[in-house]
Amino acid sequence: MNKLLIHPAAKPVVFLLCLAPFAWLAYGAFTDGLGANPAEALIRSTGDWTLRFLCIVLAVTPVRVMLKLNGLARFRRMLGLFVYFYVVVHLLSYGWFDMGFDLGEIARDIVKRPFILVGFAAFVLLTPLAATSANRIIKAMGAKRWQTLHKLIYVIAGLGLLHFFWMRAGKNNFSEVFVYAAIIGVLMAWRVWDFMRKRKVKAANARVAASLTAGAGMPSRPLSR
């Protein structure tokens, strides 16, 4: 599996797969295949795909660590940028087909409707993450600061879920919201668990190091991780 992941064709294949939903929607838009309300269909599906890609990108690290698929790391940036790609298409579809690109109207709508505000905030927060994707910028920022900035994705995921929850709230129609919330919840829980585990190992290692400096003898096997 790892071999497959590092195959030179793997990246282009994944790229095209990620583009497929967009291509499908664009095809539908031009062939009248989006049903009775094409604008609504386009806005909703691009929102759905944003959430789906968010779940996918958040799953990369847990899956990589648990299944020892280190090759997966290569795809993380591309998948993350696809979250941004779909949110931009989502925002543009809303701005164009719902608001006719009337900026004043859009501004009023953002303030008026909390769920639009929350969605828009998620987009705004996602922008610096997308903008700091290039190697050059990561280097310039330093890995530590880059990582801290990119922890924003957890806030963004929460805002995205809230946006979806509020959109469905009027109709009490939460089944899909709960599916996304459960997936993101599990992926977050794994991170908390992973963090605790690492901290425990660190603490144990520190204790060992302390005992070593105190000259209490060498442990038979050094603890790792």
Partner 1 sequence: MLIPPRDNGFNHPIPSEITPRAIYEGRRDMLRLLGTAAAGTALAGWAARDAWAQTPPPGKLAALKSVKSTVPGAQSMEKVTDYKDATTYNNYYEFGTDKADPAKNAGTLKTRPWSVEIEGLVKKPGRYDIEDLLKLSAQEERIYRLRCVEGWSMVIPWVGYSLAELIKKVEPQGNARYVEFLTLADPKTMPFVGSRVLDWPYAEGLRMDEAMHPLTLLTFGMYGEVLPNQNGAPVRLVVPWKYGFKSAKSIVKIRFVEKEPGTAWNKAAANEYGFYSNVNPNVDHPRWSQATERRIGDGGGLFAKRRKTEMFNGYEAQVASLYAGMDLKKNF
The reply to whether 32 sits near partner 1 by the rule CB under 8 A is: yes
Decide whether 122 or 129 has the Cβ nearer to partner 1.
Answer: 122
Rounded CA-CA distance 67/74 in Å is 15
Q: What is the closest distance, in whole angstroms, from the C-beta atom of residue 67 to partner 1 in the complex? A: 35
Residues in binding contact with partner 1, number by CB under 8 A? 24
Give 58: exposed, middle or buried? Use CB within 10 Å, 0-12, 13-18, 19+. Answer: buried
Rounded CA-CA distance 68/119 in Å is 34
Which 63-102 positions form the footprint of partner 1 (CB under 8 A)? 97-98, 100
The reply to whether 38 sits near partner 1 by the rule CB under 8 A is: yes
Tell which one of 114, 128, 142, 222 touches partner 1 (CB under 8 A): 114
The reply to whether 36 sits near partner 1 by the rule CB under 8 A is: yes
What SS3 state is found at 158?
helix
The reply to whether 135 sits near partner 1 by the rule CB under 8 A is: no
What Cα–Cα distance (Å) separates residue 11 from each residue in 74, 76, 219?
8, 11, 45
Decide whether 2 or 37 has the Cβ nearer to partner 1.
Answer: 37
- Which pair of tokens denotes residue 36? 């009775």
Q: What is the closest distance, in whole angstroms, from the C-beta atom of residue 51 to partner 1 in the complex? A: 17
Contact status, residue 205 vs residue 223, Cβ threshold 8 Å? yes
**What is the Cα Rg of the chain in Å?**
22
Task: Write out the residues near partner 1 by the rule CB under 8 A.
Answer: 29, 32, 34-40, 42, 97-98, 100, 109, 112-115, 166, 169-173
